Copies of this chain bind each other. A is one copy, B any other.
Amino acid sequence: MLNEQVRQKLIAIAGAEGFKDDPQSLVTHSYDGTPMLQSLPDGVIYPADTAQVSAIMKVLSEHRVPLISRGSGTNLCGGTVPVQGGVVMVMHRMNRILEVDLENLTAVVQPGLNTKQFITHVESLGLFYPPDPSSMSISTLGGNIAECSGGLRGLKYGTTKDYVIGLEAVLPSGEIIRTGGKLMKDVAGYDLTKLLVGSEGTLAVITEATLKLIPPPKAKKTMLAMYKDLYGAARTVSKIIENRIIPATLEFLDNPTIRVVDDFAKLGLPLDMEAILLIEQDGDPATVERDIAMIENICRSENADRIAVAADEEEALKLLTARRSAFTALARLRPTTILEDATVPRSKIADMVMEINRIAKKHDVTICTFGHAGDGNLHPTATTDARDPEEVHRVEAAFEEIFEAAIRLGGTITGEHGVGLVKAPFLEWKVGAAGIEVMKGIKQAFDPFNLLNPGKVFAKESRKRVVIDRG
């Protein structure tokens, strides 16, 4: 519980309507998009502007109270669960588009702005903001920046990091820093902009962002390719890239996912396929036609069993549904859905899927895999039941081995979801003990009293590497 003095100071800053600590508000902000994690905060605050964020931070800093800044809490790594209590700062009142600069192709936004709303606005001006996390209808840009969100267009267009060129942020001391600007190039000192993107709210509270916009593609074409052989699908992915084609989207669904999706969305997908690739290319019309024709040829040469190219926008949307509904369809199956994002070099996609299947079988758990094949970012998703501790334990053991396998294949424990609480014990596997020490030093430089989102990214104890049974 907050002491009354702190409480009164916070109310004085944010107003009575801007601070809440009734039980319902506390419970509502005790969890995020991640299953099976919950911890009550001591208060919830809704700042109206940067000055308020700074003033709040000064009070909390003085009294050594933790602060967890968040948007819509759609993250899947427990990134915004207030595990050490403190004040949850919800950025929803700071949700304005401050500027779209058509001369410089930049936008300045507040962190609480909804991602989809921003994308729609930008598109109405004939511009393009590519990062499109699956949660974009609900998520905020501030949350996307904190987690460095990816999405379906990441292969060709990169992730959130590639579009953030300037930030305003409040340090734990309450001081306000500004990094970058409307500048395509800036090497004045260390790159704090890119450091803050993906720092999961542990270094500073982001209060404003300058984003880079690009011209939109003039045309787009969507296709599905279906395979009875997993390796045929994987070789298709590699061959497309080897042929110097970078599609806008290159997504993968495995057989268990296909079955679930078809049952949910009634798309008439062939249930005997081991893999489906969803492929989109965009750009100039002639380029798109040529690339899609080349991709079709590659799919055929790798023995795709069926290929469907969308004739129009409506058909394209139907094909996209197969991929877009994967998470929703899986979430219906059982009470608890755990979606992970182990990532490997794209040439290792098939090996990774085989490893996931082997590990799932070993631990007798159900794991469906889909994801961004083009950038090696897979989402192995376990359907389980949080009320069955024994099964959950097996799921956790399986994911531990999946992370281990990803690292062994030259990959990483998270491609776009973040470390948060869930993957903190595994971070050392990827970055090593020396890497952890350097990162802790950076944390210390920003946040000497460990007030910002404490308990995240760095685990109390790192997991020992498991010994993989290669049998």
Interface residues of A (CB under 8 A from B): 101-106, 126-127, 147-148, 150, 154-155, 158-159, 161-162, 171, 173, 175-179, 181-192, 194-195, 197-199, 203, 214-216, 238, 241-242, 244-246, 283-284, 286-287, 343-347, 372, 374-377, 410-419, 423, 427, 430-432, 434-436, 438-446, 457
Chain B residues near A346: list those with CB within 8 A.
103-104, 184
Chain B residues near A127: list those with CB within 8 A.
244
Report Cα–Cα, A415/B165, bound state, in Å: 13
Are A189's CB and B446's CB within 8 A?
no
Q: A184-B154, A412-B186, A444-B441 are in contact. Are A246 and B434 (CB under 8 A)?
A: no
Are B427's CB and A238's CB within 8 A?
no
- Which residue of the partner chain B has the closest CB to A195? B195
* Contacts A178-B432, A183-B411 supplied; 13 other A-B pairs, CB < 8 Å: A104-B241, A154-B184, A162-B162, A171-B438, A177-B438, A183-B412, A185-B416, A187-B419, A188-B413, A188-B423, A191-B197, A215-B244, A215-B246
Q: A147 to nearest B CB, angstroms?
A: 7
Q: How many copies does the complex hold?
A: 2
Are A430's CB and B188's CB within 8 A?
yes
Chain B residues near A154: list those with CB within 8 A.
184-185
Chain B residues near A411: list those with CB within 8 A.
181, 183
Are B434's CB and A103's CB within 8 A?
no
Partner of A442, one of B186, B414, B445: B445
Q: A99 to nearest B CB, angstroms?
A: 12
Report Cα–Cα, A198/B242, bound state, in Å: 30
Are B183's CB and A345's CB within 8 A?
yes
Chain B residues near A246: list those with CB within 8 A.
214-215
Chain B residues near A187: list those with CB within 8 A.
147-148, 198, 412, 414-419
Chain B residues near A457: list those with CB within 8 A.
189-190
Report Cα–Cα, A287/B290, bound state, in Å: 13
Chain B residues near A434: list those with CB within 8 A.
171, 173, 175-177
Chain B residues near A419: list those with CB within 8 A.
187-189
